[in-house]
Amino acid sequence: MRDGVDLSVDLLLPRSPGPFPTIFLRTPYENSSRRFLERGLWWARNGYAFVSGDCRGRYESGGTFTPYHSDASDGQDTLEWISKQSWSNGKIGMAGQSYGAIIQWLTAPFRHPSLKALAPHVICDEYFSNCHYVGGAFQLGLSIMAAVTFSTNPTIPEMPEVFDHGKTFNHLPLIDMDLETIGQKIPFYRQWLEHSTYDDYWQTIDTSKQYNQIDVPVFIRAGWFDAYPDAAFRMWNGMRENARSEQSRNNQKLIIGPWTHAEPTGTKLGDLDFGPNSYRVILEEELRWFNYWLKGVDNELVEEPPIHLFVMGTNHWRYEHEWPLARTEFTPYYFHSQGQANSSNSDGILNLERPTAESTDQYQYDPEKPVPSIGGNLSTASWPWTEKGENPIVAGPVDQRTLEKRPDILVYTSSPLEKDLEVTGPLKVILFAASTASDTDFTARLVDVYPDGNAIFLAEGIRRARFRNGFEKEELLKPNKVERYCIELYPTSNVFLKGHRIRVDISSSNFPRFSRNLNTGEDVGTGTRLQIAHQTIFHDRDYPSHIILPLIPE
């Protein structure tokens, strides 16, 4: 590298004369592991040189690993090295998902002349509000699990032994959770907590502000139940509108299916089977992409509409040209009750009628008894944690009825639908609420209620009260003052079938995916005091709480 540090790469070549186009990826997850070697063999058999590298400070690479902050220059230096090798024909495509996709977005603005195409899958390009502080709430499970993985190299089966069930996640203060887990400080984990607003630490690595510096075609793969489907569409739009050249702006591709973070291996997820048509082999999709851009194979790729999305409910694939869809009818569905919306046996109603004079709904949020993360938009397939040491917490479309029995969840449900209703696009809850606390959280979930009572998760969101007006600074609450909260849920595409009902669940915790709000207004990293918050949700003429659904006409 330019600073003299040596980084390790593995190279696999086809059994034929070169030079070759190259697929390059870098990972913090051991580039010499079986999965990366098998992937390299696959690419080599398809006529590509394959270069996989250990990130700086990981496994066989020198230096110190600090997530995000050295990957851009390291990526650029490795592209330069590849382009000068005798086996390289000077055409390079970058591939990889999750952290392997982060490296692509960080490297792309440097515009190395040999970089011809990207395939960054299931990731964001802004690491504050779309990763570590979603809606301002610290994404605890992901952050501590990533920090420990990047520091101790455990395998996934070893994770439950590293994380002592509820003991780890319940530990306070959060900044010492590294000591509680592995007995040593993790500097970058502590930096994430010390930089608890969108400050220079995060802004300097925010690729979402650099689309105009990127000049390559990009293929994005996302999952409706991953933690980054909103980012996928934001990045796609950002590149379509602002990429450096017309060729780049016109050659952005996105595929999104009923998946989580991992590549799909079947048709089942959570409590649903999406049918044989839902399955896609992502490597085959990547091969078409790189064959076109690196080999010049005329496979009609660019003639296809740029977005390929899976519509749940009716379980079919459809091509689209823009996001949100031009034909979308953004429609508010309002919350109603007579003050007893607590739990699924409540009088909470969801409909198109704007409220007038109605009672408020109230519940008590106790950080000692948070709502557990059952189902949801997760970037890990499951959590190695429950209060009893079991492991039922899985990602995706999971039945919510167990949670909806809790008195600290408000449930608003529509009447059975008289005909199919498609909801495809971004989702937003506008919530008018007051709290006795100086800081607290509000969460929202969209649920598809089946005729048999199954309440299947579709999308979720969270908003930390101190960030209700933006992420650059914190503003604590005045107790019992009504405030407006915009809770952005992850996007979805689902047909609520005839006889189904639409449901919205409102609460104040989603743990351990997100850290518990202690309700005291203390610093997120060093706070230790817990107090109960009494929450009041309004839905009347002046404060019409509602969800905005992106309806797609027939």
Question: Nearest CA to 381 among 226, 253, 162, 250?
Answer: 226
What average pLDDT does range 421-433 have in this prediction?
A: 98
Percent of the chain predicted with pLDDT > 70:
95
Q: Identical fold at 9-125+210-320 and 329-552?
A: no
CA distances from 369 to 91, 124, 170, 390, 502 (A): 55, 31, 11, 17, 27
Q: What gap in Å lies between CA 82 and CA 93, rounded to an integer?
A: 11
- With vertex at residue 459, the alpha carbon angle to CA 458 and CA 465, rounded to the nearest 5 degrees, is 150
Does the pLDDT of residue 53 top 70, yes or no? yes
What pTM did the predictor assign? 0.95
Does the pLDDT of residue 32 top 90, yes or no? no
Mean pLDDT for all residues in the chain: 94
CB 395 within 8 A of CB 333: no
Q: What pLDDT is stored for residue 152 in this prediction? A: 82
- Where b means 16+ CB within 10 Å and e means fewer, 380-403 reads beebbbbeeeeeebbbbbbbbeeb
Phi, psi torsion values for 101, nearest 5 degrees: -85, -35
Q: Which tens digits make up the pLDDT trace of 282-341?
A: 999 999 999 999 999 999 888 999 999 999 999 999 999 999 999 999 999 999 999 999
Q: What pLDDT is stored for residue 31 in this prediction? A: 87
Least confident range of 5-9, 119-123, 373-377 = 373-377
Q: What pLDDT is stored for residue 149 in this prediction? A: 87
Out of 52, 61, 88, 98, which one is annotated catalytic? 98
Least confident range of 227-231, 296-300, 445-449 = 296-300
- Where b means 16+ CB within 10 Å and e means fewer, 429-450 reads bbbbbbbbbbbbbbbbbbbbbe
Out of 121, 261, 308, 336, which one is annotated catalytic? 261
Tokens of 489: 């849920």
Q: What pLDDT is stored for residue 300 in this prediction? A: 87
DSSP, collapsed to helix, strand or coil, labels residue 467 as: helix
How far from chain centre, in Å, is Cα 156? Answer: 19
SS3 content of the chain, % helix, strand, coil (to 5): 25, 30, 45
Torsion angle of alpha carbons 430, 433, 437, 438, nearest 10°? 50
At 262, the pLDDT band (50, 70, 90 cuts) reads: confident
For the chain, what are the domain ranges?
A: 9-125+210-320, 329-552
Q: What gap in Å lies between CA 345 and CA 368, rounded to an integer?
A: 24
Tokens of 160: 């439950």
Q: What pLDDT is stored for residue 164 in this prediction? A: 61
226 is catalytic: yes
CB 484 within 8 A of CB 157: no
Q: What pLDDT is stored for residue 395 in this prediction? A: 84
> Domain 329-552 is of which CATH architecture?
Sandwich (2.60)
What average pLDDT does range 346-360 have in this prediction?
A: 95
Q: Which tens digits make up the pLDDT trace of 471-491?
A: 999 999 999 999 999 999 999
CA distances from 312 to 180, 272, 352 (A): 41, 10, 23
CB 102 within 8 A of CB 30: no
Strand partners, 214: none
Place of tokens 């199954």: 454
Q: Which tens digits make up the pLDDT trace of 79-91?
A: 999 999 999 999 9
Tokens of 369: 């008894």
Out of 54, 226, 361, 441, which one is annotated catalytic? 226
Neighbours of 498 (CB within 10 A): 12
Q: What pLDDT is stored for residue 389 in this prediction? A: 47
Question: Nearest CA to 170 among 364, 365, 366, 368?
Answer: 368
Question: Nearest CA to 102 among 81, 80, 121?
Answer: 121
Q: What gap in Å lies between CA 476 and CA 439, rounded to an integer?
A: 6
Does the pLDDT of residue 352 top 80, yes or no? yes
61 is catalytic: no
Place of tokens 């011809």: 116
Does the pLDDT of residue 381 top 80, yes or no? no
How far from chain centre, in Å, is Cα 31? Answer: 24
Q: What pLDDT is stored for residue 393 in this prediction? A: 60
CA distances from 396 to 137, 271, 388 (A): 20, 8, 22
Percent of the chain predicted with pLDDT > 90:
86
CA distances from 246 to 92, 206, 325 (A): 20, 23, 22
CB 138 within 8 A of CB 157: no
Sign of the four-CA dihedral 422, 428, 431, 435 = positive
Neighbours of 184 (CB within 10 A): 9
Does the pLDDT of residue 346 top 90, yes or no? no
Q: What gap in Å lies between CA 525 and CA 190, rounded to an integer?
A: 8
Q: What pLDDT is stored for residue 383 in this prediction? A: 54
Does the pLDDT of residue 391 top 70, yes or no? no
Tokens of 37: 């070697």
Q: What gap in Å lies between CA 409 and CA 265, rounded to an integer?
A: 34
Q: Which tens digits make up the pLDDT trace of 231-255?
A: 999 999 999 999 999 999 999 999 9
Q: Which tens digits make up the pLDDT trace of 178-211?
A: 999 889 999 999 999 999 999 999 999 999 999 9
261 is catalytic: yes
Torsion angle of alpha carbons 490, 495, 498, 502, nearest 10°? 10
* Class level of CATH domain 9-125+210-320: alpha beta
